[in-house]
A and B are shown apart, each in its own frame.
Chain A
Amino acid sequence: MSHQHVVYLDNNATTRTAPEVVAAMLPFFGEHYGNPSSMHTFGGAVKAHIDQARQQVADLLGCLAEEVIFTSCGTESDNAAIMSTLRSFPGKRHVVTTRVEHPAVLNFCQDLAGRGYEVTFLPVDRQGNLDLDQVAEAIREDTAIVSVMWANNETGVVFPVTEIAQMARAKGALFHTDAVQAVGKVPTKLSETAIDLLSLSGHKLHTPKGVGVLYVRKGTPFVPYVMGGHQEHGRRAGTENVPYIVGLGRACQLAGERMLEENTRVKALRDRLEKGLLQVEATMVNGDPARRLPNTSSVSFEYVEGESILLMLSDLGICASSGSACTSGSLEPSHVLRAMGVPFTAAHGSIRFSLSYYTTQEEVDYVLKHLPPIIERLRKISPFWARQQARACATPGYVQP
């Protein structure tokens, strides 16, 4: 596929590394190989760069540097947040989360449910939104932790996490949010919220894969689950992954500088893409358009199957994702779309486009030019489309949706 330009619209899966980030990392693969824990100046000099990175992350999150723990990835952060809380409050055996979480939280909680914990998986409505009354009702005196993602990776729907964090606090439960998709796109002034724990992932912010952050509010009980040395104030042992930590710091700085552009230029491109794709008949957007990340669009093309669309896009150099069963390997369509009650006709034909700072209008227009003919081609093959058309024609007064 190297023969053609890659149009990368799969940034909720992972992002292109920023050249500035790679440049910041390179010296730490080479000459600056010291151990930040060493007593000598050679190692100690490296520690200063980790401290700087920690401050850069804190600046983006709106928190204190000492509240930032570097981890290996978003999944580790999610697991550590929930596990630590359950260990801190052994008498509380109830957990609240949602049905649309990333597997890093969802599967962890499903595992808990099989280990004697009670887990409430909150439903979402057709638009992908939570019912806040239902959230409030679900939190009980014996709830140890409420874990609700900040923004959904498949639809981009943003949850009111600051309000839910208040509800949790009022009942004496800790609040964790998987903010992997939200950080850098949604302002996060954590010091002004009741959020106790937050996960972020480097590779969604233009850092290479292999680094994440767990934010732990000062004063929040924390029990480490990687034990060993005193790194990260004893909260996450293991010699620091220096190049990646430095890279993530730089990436957070860039994200802060680019957040406005994400919410203006990138958002406009997303809207342009979506508007263009909705011109294709029997097409719908998944997720509340009024409460979404600026970069994400989940579009369903009814009566065609997502993997087929992706493969044809891929041949044109266009990268996207699908919530169809065939792409997940699980034989069932996306748990997020199913939780929202998206009909099967649409869930199997869902395509997620996720843009980034690097997306151009030329790329969006390239997709708009090539995708509609692909849908038309696949619908010609689909038995359901033919039937749908026949039905439409046979219905008096039927107007094409």
Chain B
Amino acid sequence: MWEYTDKVRKYFTDPVNVGEVEKPDGVGEVGSLACGDALRLTFKLDDQGKIEDARFQTFGCASAIASSSALTEMIKGKTLDEAAKVTNRDIADFLGGLPPEKMHCSVMGEQALQAAIRNYQGLEPLPSEEGEVICECFGVTDQEIERVARGNNLHTVEEITNYTKAGGGCGKCVDKIEALLAKIWSQPAPQAAAPAPPKKKLTNIQKMKLIEETLEREVRPALKADGGDIELIDIAGDVVQVSLRGRCAACAASQATLGQFVQTKLREFVSDELIVEEVRP
């Protein structure tokens, strides 16, 4: 049983600002079903440039729902510059604290907010694919770990796991995280970074690699769980040809599976332009 504050329980049992803002100015999505929690944040600005309305949809535990709801309350009435300063610690503090193992829920809130603001600015969600992936189970990069470690003064692997989930899956990356922490704390903090530049256009090789990784990580496990499989046949420009195997191939709904699921995933992780086509083996 987790020790939740009364405020966490209140925002979980009776969350405010559930749903989606109509015609949002900014949309931020982080997390995934596989990871066990995900948050979609939408906001709308008034004519003064302040956040007039903010709403959330969350899949996750009580603290994830409470953190999301709290976040929407906290940013309403703020300008984007003010909102951008809200950190995961602010969210946790607003809720009267979170159990250490649940701090990643507040981090998810901060990430969704940053992603939504970037979306408003016409930028890619979060530059999460920049840097080296340290934790493959949860797709956490060294840059993400460094940002959260510095922002929250974290020094142990356990704390990193509590805040980012990195190291909480198979545990193979624990040594890497340890080494990374040693490196982070032996160097001075980097200069306050200017707003990150828009994501560079991917080279063809980068795109192919990213498509392969996304299929492997996001798509194949889900299909395999249902007795099917997917194979990448070709990439021509923005058209990704795939072939379905096993149960998926025989499934009448396979077209829908592809069009929606695979394409959504590839667009989410690689490029909005991609089109998925099925090739019969």
Chain A residues proximal to chain B, CB less than 8 Å? 126, 303-308, 311-312, 315, 324-327, 329-333, 341-345, 348, 380-386, 391, 394-395, 398
Contacts and interface: CB of A to CB of B under 8 A. Distances in A.
Interface string B105-144: 0000000000000000000000000000000011000000
B20, B58, B161, B227: residue with the most chain A Cβ atoms closer than 10 Å: B58
B59 A382 contact: yes
B222 A326 contact: no
The 4 closest A-B pairs by CB, nearest first: A331-B168, A326-B61, A383-B57, A307-B61
Contact of A326 (B20, B34, B40, B60): B60
B169 A383 contact: no
Interface stretch (B11-19, B174-182, B238-246, B272-280): B11-19
A391 B260 contact: yes
B36 A331 contact: yes
Interface of B: 2, 12-13, 15, 18-20, 29, 33-34, 36-40, 56-62, 64-65, 101, 137-138, 161, 165, 168-169, 221-222, 224-227, 253, 256, 260
Contacts of A344: 33-34, 36, 221-222, 225
A341 B62 contact: no
A329 B161 CA distance: 11
A218 to B, nearest CB: 42
A380 B58 CA distance: 9
A17 to B, nearest CB: 20
A381 B65 CA distance: 8
A378 to B, nearest CB: 8
Nearest to A340: B225
Contacts of B62: 307-308, 311
Given A330-B168, A331-B169, A383-B57, A395 B13 contact: no
Nearest to B36: A325
Please classify the interface of chain B as helix (H, G, I), strand (E, B), loop, or mixed, using the class held by over half of its residues: mixed
A344 B161 CA distance: 20
A394 B253 CA distance: 12
B176 to A, nearest CB: 17
A308 B33 contact: no
A163 to B, nearest CB: 26
Given A344-B33, A383-B40, A324 B61 contact: yes
A341 B247 CA distance: 14
A308 B12 contact: yes
A155 to B, nearest CB: 16
A341 B224 contact: yes
Given A326-B61, A382-B57, A382-B58, A343 B226 contact: yes
A297 B38 CA distance: 27
A308 B59 CA distance: 9
Contacts of B2: 307
Nearest to B20: A386
16 contacts: A126-B227, A303-B33, A303-B59, A311-B12, A332-B36, A332-B168, A344-B34, A344-B221, A345-B33, A348-B59, A380-B18, A381-B15, A381-B18, A381-B59, A386-B57, A398-B253
A305 B59 contact: yes
A305 B37 contact: yes
A305 B102 CA distance: 14
A363 to B, nearest CB: 21
B137 A332 contact: yes
Nearest to B104: A331
Contacts of A341: 224-225
B227 A329 contact: no
Contacts of B169: 331-332
A305 B60 contact: yes
Contacts of A329: 101
B229 to A, nearest CB: 12
B37 A326 contact: yes
Nearest to B223: A343
Contacts of A386: 20, 57
A330 B169 CA distance: 7
B15, B18, B59, B161: residue with the most chain A Cβ atoms closer than 10 Å: B59
A333 B36 contact: yes
Nearest to B60: A305
A384 B38 contact: yes
Contact of B36 (A126, A303, A326, A383): A326
A304 B61 CA distance: 9
Nearest to B170: A332
Contacts of B225: 341-344
B256 A398 contact: yes
Nearest to A315: B13
A355 B2 CA distance: 24
A385 B18 CA distance: 13
B26 to A, nearest CB: 15
Contacts of B138: 331
B40, B62, B227: residue with the most chain A Cβ atoms closer than 10 Å: B62
B256 A391 contact: yes
Contacts of A333: 36
Nearest to B105: A326
Contacts of A394: 260
